[in-house]
Amino acid sequence: MYKIRDIELELSTYCNADCPLCYRNYKTFDEHYPDKFHRPLQSVKDQILRYPDLEWVRLVGSISEPTMYSHFLDLVTFIKSKNIKIELCTNGSVNTREWWQQLSEILTKEDSVYFTICGCKEWTHEIYRVNTSLKKILRNAKAFKSENKNDYAQCIRFDYNNEELNSDEFKEMVSQFSNVYWTETFLLKDVSNYTYRYNLNKLKPFQDKVKSYESVEKLATLKYEKGLSKVATCKAYNEGRLQIDVNGNEYPCYLTLEAQIDPYWTWEEVLSMKYEACKFCEKSIVTLCEEKDLDYII
């Protein structure tokens, strides 16, 4: 019997940041999520209770900043009362030091909080993390840090900041965190996908991988369009995961959420590659990405 052990929850449609590659800057976003609202707390609680085998709740925010949710601390307290682990990904640029200290007291060493950082200078950090403040992030991270050592600097590598992320200055700055997590940006969609008026070329993956990403993307698209993609290696299915949007709708993952696949989708359809959103999870494409260290393409 299939069991849901891991859910990613969207809590509102509010965000202080304006990251150029975010789903919020897709041309389809306003059509899919036209209203600004916070999901009712009781509705979120009730949905969590529908998954009796739940081990993880991830408050990542595909379309929002999780810590702007009006009932955030109450929700976190409820989740922890059910002995469920929490992963929070935040731009870290909102709320007071006291708020972050309070959150630290609720969470445990089993939980993890990722503060995203894209440079050691304010202007380089803000090239991608538009409308956030590196100074506030470091202040709030310091206020959150505790003996639980569950704070992370999540460092996103782009072509524009590759050299800076390798610098001693950057490594010194992130050394204040208990943990440092290095990640990479994904392959950009076609520029026609975005509403953001910005030089998106600055936000490409660093040059060592761009050509490889593009080759994999062409292969994945070709296999899907030619009907050669029949079997998916679906991480969501294999790990018992679900993506839940701000309306409480279930999706396999954030890519299928962005694509707004049929709300009556089934795992059989996902695993047999019915949806183009799954093209990078075709079995041979997954194997290729693992062999070539190209997992961050999506």
pLDDT of residue 201: 81
What is the pLDDT at residue 154?
A: 98
What are the angstrom distances between the C-alpha of 187 and each of 21, 204, 218, 220? Answer: 10, 7, 12, 13
CB 180 within 8 A of CB 153: yes
Please give the pLDDT value at position 197: 66
Q: How far is CA 129 from CA 16, 78, 115, 134, in A?
A: 10, 30, 12, 9
Contacts of 255 (CB under 8 A, 6+ apart): 277, 278, 280, 298
Instruction: Put residue 223 in one of left, alpha, beta given phi > 0 → left and psi -120 to 50 → alpha.
Output: alpha
Q: How high is the pLDDT of residue 1?
A: 64
The stretches in the chain having pLDDT less than 50 are: none
| Domains with residue ranges and CATH for the chain | 6-205 (3.20.20.70), 207-239+266-298 (no CATH)
Quick one: pLDDT at residue 208? Answer: 81
In this prediction, residue 200 carries a pLDDT of 86
What distance in Å separates the CA atoms of residue 81 and residue 106, rounded to the nearest whole number? 10
Residue among 24, 1, 70, 12 nearest 248 (CA) = 12
